A = this chain, B = another copy of it.
């Protein structure tokens, strides 16, 4: 008898800037703080820590509640739901740099992605030991050492980088990964 059981391919999906819209939230906090309304176009090309002026991003990130209150990225919920049917999806977030964020991030995932089991959540520092088939991330430092296929999620801080295949939204990522299934 031929064994027809096929292991699902695995995907590591980043949180900040990929599942969670850290840009939108930071711009909103900056407006509350300074009264100045910046758009995503205004900050395009900035380094991550200069997302908003005066080092305020650093200050915002370290306040309790920052990671718990991030809005979900457009299209992310539907995309993860769709991908979970054909792939084994892991959420892999570089969270140990901010120990306070750990429980906030898990609560956030429980709210927006309740179908993701705790078994499929990874909070780490370096992602260099993650051994999935695909990795979706907005940071080159995470994608560069990865041995599988890499997908760069567009963000203000990675404009102009062309070391990994770039995707501007979740719709194009789902289309790409579905085309991979046919290979």
Asked, given contacts A96-B118, A118-B96, A118-B97, whether A102 binds B123 with beta carbons under 8 Å apart, the answer is yes
Additional pairs, 9, CB under 8 Å, beyond known A96-B123, A99-B102, A102-B102: A96-B106, A96-B121, A99-B118, A102-B106, A102-B123, A119-B126, A124-B124, A129-B132, A130-B130
A97 surroundings in chain B (CB, below 8 A): 118-119
Q: Is the CB of A10 within 8 A of B103?
A: no
Judge if A115 is at the interface, Cβ distance under 8 Å. no
Kindly list chain B residues whose C-beta atoms are within 8 Å of the C-beta of A123.
95-96, 102, 122-124
Number of copies: 2
Can you give 24 contacting A-B residue pairs, CB < 8 Å?
A: A96-B106, A96-B119, A96-B121, A96-B123, A97-B118, A97-B119, A99-B102, A99-B103, A99-B107, A102-B102, A102-B103, A102-B106, A103-B103, A117-B125, A118-B125, A119-B125, A122-B122, A122-B124, A123-B124, A129-B131, A129-B132, A130-B130, A130-B131, A131-B131
Main secondary structure of the interface of A (DSSP, over half): mixed
A177 CA to B88 CA, complexed, in Å = 33
Contact A90 B129 (CB under 8 A): yes
**Chain B minimum-CB-distance residue to A119:** B125
Give every chain B residue within 8 A of A95 (Cβ-Cβ).
123
